[in-house]
Amino acid sequence: MADPKTPEPQAVTGNAGELHQTASTPETRLTTNHGMPISDDQNSLKGGRRGPTLLEDFVLREKIQHFDHERIPERIVHARGSAAHGFFELTESLAEFTRAKVLTEVGKKTDVFTRFSTVAGGAGSIDTPRDVRGFAVKMYTVEGNWDLVGNNIPVFFIQDAIKFPDLVHAVKMEADRGYPQAASAHDTFWDFVGLMPETTHMIMWAMSDRTIPRSLRMIEGFGVNTFRLLNDKDEATFVKFHWRPKLGTQSTCWDEAVKIAGADPDYHRRDLYESIAAGDFPEWEFGVQLISQKQADALPFDILDATKLIPEEMIPIRVVGRMVLNRNPDNFFAETEQSAFLPTNMPPGVDVSEDPLLQGRLFSYQDTQLSRLGSVNFHQLPINQPKGCPFQNFQRDGHMQTQVFAGRANYEPNSLAEAGEPGGPREDPKGGFRSFAQPVEETKVRLRAETFADHYTQARLFFRSQTEIEQAHLASALVFELSKVTLDHVRVRVLANVQNVDEALAKRVAAGLNVDLPKKAAAAVAPEDMKPSPALRIVGKYPDTLKGRAVGILVTDGADGAVVAAVRKAVEAEGAAVKIIAPKIGGVTLKDGKALPADGQLAGTPSVLFDAVALVLSEAGCAELLGESAAVDFAANAFVHLKAIAHTAEAQPLLDKAGVKPDAGVVDLAQGADAFVKPARTRQWDREPKVRILA
């Protein structure tokens, strides 16, 4: 949006202001590491309220640099990652908008390396916490590497990078006790959230089913920040980047995610690796939202604000390419762990915007790699080297230098070529990277634009765009998280903020906590009602297929092999994987005397690891399983996690003991294996009110 008339300076925004009183003594004031008092710890120094962040902001640089170097060698955030190789293929040229060859040469396949990650936990944490997922793609283009570093959520918690260390400190393990690991349900995180209303939109996403994904193959990816595309005439177009999974966006139930963590802490990592090894290659569509300056000015929010998204109904996503991951890393450490992603890696024709969160990221990522990988030469590691083009310059030496340079030319300009000696590479004014000529002649300030002040309208949009099922899950997630908070005033402040999102939601959460609803928090800008965006939902949008999913078949001695074969055939015909589960890993002997090997042992392969299950039991086998809690849990958990359950008549006593009640998702295999396939394609949402109490 166009920059409004500059209002009176304001030190801080939101509820954090209640804690920011002028320090009267040296003992109480905030300073740099060298003792200089800090006047504003909420905003980075920018060239105008909506201008770029200035390199001279040493307060920002000191704060982020210290944060970047807090731990070695593990990443401070996004430490637990899984990755794969593949390719990007452009299907529609964007030559009208950009000169980047990777976005203009239709049909060309560009090598990629993509890393997925959780955010809050350490490298040894679990795969399935309620958490944002990182989605980082390194494209080895013919014009250098392009690192599109984003998340599976299109918005972020904060508006200005100067608050990033505070956000991460708040959500990570509490400083005095070293827990909880990979969890946001604790005092310090929600204290930060309550004091920073700008987090509210992201909190709606974080408490939604988006943060408990079924698989890394089933998450969306977003560039989060607003970027620019520049064409041959240096004309700029704002752009938002999107990755959309061909398998659809799918999630787990919260109780299921918790139990998966105990059954298989490496659930997502294993799922990605095994699917690629089996030739079931994950694929995403690549889309862009293209926004002219005129369109940006007309929007009711600021596209430079990373806590805002552009609804697809306002600006449609234009699909222009695809990404396929088809090869697992040969060595986890050398590739997945040593990979380094930098938002500053962009081909000519792609450029940044003045988004203050992005501006800070441009510094932070490079600095982090220097600490984590220990050398300015981390770009020479094979996984980080450009593959589509050579790299050469006059940078020399440094720790872990692996290149051997010949000749005297280590400076530029030089005239050594006139003497017949190698003179080295030269700049390319025409084909090289050029930044958009954005005017920045304004007063230096530590302020935010007024257009960043609305913290609730889009949070309300997101919540009211969800189905009733998803709204109930979101409310229940807030109840769970706030139930872990021990400081009453923190819960009160969060509930006061949530009332600005939706009063009915706030009442549901307060009732779930059995506390009184506090007075609504004052909003800097009164929230408005936007037209709901169905594109923001998950439920009801699953592809009508079993492709990419997994079905577990529990068998016992004496089971009917023909029924097992029929279920396997029907499921595999849909593109799903099948695993045979038996009481013992050695497998079972079927009714016809044939041996059936097992892929997993019952106690170690619970139903939470599958999208649907079939119980093919003999009468004697079922009778034996009635005394095995793992078998009862296998059926009971499948039922409460809303999964389709197929069974033989002999399995009925086990279903009865597990509390499995007849519904459309419980299928007697006497009807045939094909009758099981349709309900197995999705969750049985109608069952949920019968198996759990939601907020």
pLDDT tens digits, 105-119: 999 999 999 999 999
Q: Is the pLDDT of residue 165 over 60?
A: yes
Mean pLDDT, residues 517-540 taken together: 96
Residue ending a domain, among 361, 380, 399, is 380
CATH number at residue 348: 2.40.180.10
| Structural contact between residues 95 and 230, judged by C-beta atoms closer than 8 angstroms | no
The 8 Å CB, 24+ separation contacts for 375-379 are: 375/399, 375/400, 377/401, 377/402, 378/338, 378/340, 379/340
Mean pLDDT, residues 684-689 taken together: 96
In a domain, 406, yes or no: no
Asked about 231 being catalytic, the answer comes back as: no
129 and 278 in a single domain? The answer is yes
630 and 653 in a single domain? The answer is yes
CATH number at residue 495: 1.20.1370.20
Q: Is the pLDDT of residue 680 over 60?
A: yes
506 and 572 in a single domain? The answer is no
Mean pLDDT, residues 579-599 taken together: 97
Asked about 151 being catalytic, the answer comes back as: yes
492 and 585 in a single domain? The answer is no
In a domain, 195, yes or no: yes
Backbone phi, then psi, for 495, in 5-degree steps? -65, -35
pLDDT of the residue at 21: 55
In a domain, 412, yes or no: no
In a domain, 442, yes or no: no
| Residues facing residue 646 across a β-bridge | 614, 667
pLDDT tens digits, 433-477: 888 988 887 899 999 999 999 999 999 999 999 999 999 999 999
pLDDT tens digits, 384-406: 998 988 888 888 888 888 889 89
In a domain, 25, yes or no: no
Tally the domains of the chain.
3
Q: Which of 78, 85, 473, 647 is catalytic?
A: 78
Mean pLDDT, residues 222-245 taken together: 97
189 and 74 in a single domain? The answer is yes
295 and 332 in a single domain? The answer is yes
496 and 581 in a single domain? The answer is no
519 and 564 in a single domain? The answer is no
In a domain, 503, yes or no: yes
Tell me the C-alpha to C-alpha distance, in Å, between residue 628 and each of 37, 448, 564, 625: 66, 61, 22, 5
pLDDT tens digits, 29-73: 777 777 667 788 888 988 999 999 988 887 888 888 778 877 657
pLDDT of the residue at 15: 57
pLDDT of the residue at 6: 40
In a domain, 417, yes or no: no
520 and 563 in a single domain? The answer is no
Residue-range definition of the domain harbouring residue 641: 550-691
652 and 524 in a single domain? The answer is no
| Structural contact between residues 112 and 323, judged by C-beta atoms closer than 8 angstroms | yes
Mean pLDDT, residues 291-296 taken together: 97
Residue ending a domain, among 514, 536, 558, is 536
| Structural contact between residues 116 and 151, judged by C-beta atoms closer than 8 angstroms | no
273 and 295 in a single domain? The answer is yes
Tokens 């008339």 correspond to what residue? Answer: 5
Q: For residues 380 and 636, what is the distance between their CA atoms, to the nearest angstrom?
A: 52
Q: Which of 151, 152, 225, 637 is catalytic?
A: 151
CATH number at residue 575: 3.40.50.880
519 and 648 in a single domain? The answer is no
pLDDT of the residue at 17: 55
Q: Is the pLDDT of residue 673 over 80?
A: yes
pLDDT of the residue at 2: 45
pLDDT of the residue at 19: 56
Q: Could you tell me the pLDDT band of residue 16, with boundaries at 50, 70 and 90? A: low
Q: Could you tell me the pLDDT band of residue 14, with boundaries at 50, 70 and 90? A: low
